[in-house]
Chain A
Amino acid sequence: DAGITQSPRHKVTETGTPVTLRCHQTENHRYMYWYRQDPGHGLRLIHYSYGVKDTDKGEVSDGYSVSRSKTEDFLLTLESATSSQTSVYFCAIRPLGGDSPLHFGNGTRLTVT
């Protein structure tokens, strides 16, 4: 897992409630990513970060916000969860510069009822 911990691993929440997912890395890598994975869609990038307080939007960022106040933590927040946000969420880090392969956490399965 290259020192990546995602929490919680599973969560069930109700529509309209706020939800925060946490990604923690132990190796102080600069680049961190949040993806969601849905059947038939592959992985889609939500947000990514290239340093403390430096973040940018991915292709499916609507309804999500992120924060990175420390190198090791990258938080994904659903301000008001909707059923369309039911998904498996993966955090990834890029250990080396350039286009080196990503290392992934084990994911968080989120169900919005």
Chain B
Amino acid sequence: KQEVTQIPAALSVPEGENLVLNCSFTDSAIYNLQWFRQDPGKGLTSLLLIQSSQREQTSGRLNASLDKSSGRSTLYIAASQPGDSATYLCAVSVGNYQLIWGAGTKLIIKP
């Protein structure tokens, strides 16, 4: 059974730092991996989607990598800003259009 883990559950860093969020999964048979952002009281917003054949995807200050063999993905945020404060979730697609989710990392960027 596929399991997705995100460690740490919470992270607080000063503004301007580069940071890495981690996502690990137990079964390498995935179709893709997705990173989402969730703001308090809101739904989730898709940030990046990495297909199983890809190694990384970039969008602005965000870069996501995927290493299927080790069951890991990282989300790199460059030059963090207070507006980046949110909960970040990763999810793996396991077929039948279903996603298995991590519990998220709550990120706080201190001004």
Contacts and interface: CB of A to CB of B under 8 A. Distances in A.
Contacts of B51: 99
B97 A101 contact: no
Interface string B72-106: 00000000000000000101010001110111100
A103 interface: yes
A60 to B, nearest CB: 12
Interface residues of B, number: 22
B85 to A, nearest CB: 18
Interface residues of A, number: 25
Given A99-B49, A104-B43, 8 more contacts: A4-B43, A31-B97, A42-B91, A45-B98, A48-B97, A104-B44, A106-B43, A107-B43
Interface string A76-113: 00000000000000101010000111111111000000
Q: Per DSSP, are chain B's interface residues mostly helix, strand or loop, or mixed?
A: strand
B72 to A, nearest CB: 17
A44 B32 CA distance: 18
A43 B89 contact: yes
A94 B97 contact: yes
Contact of A90 (B44, B45, B49, B102): B44
Interface of A: 1, 4, 31, 39-45, 48, 50, 58, 90, 92, 94, 99-107
A102 B46 contact: yes
B101 A42 contact: yes
Given A31-B97, A42-B102, A58-B98, A105 B31 contact: no
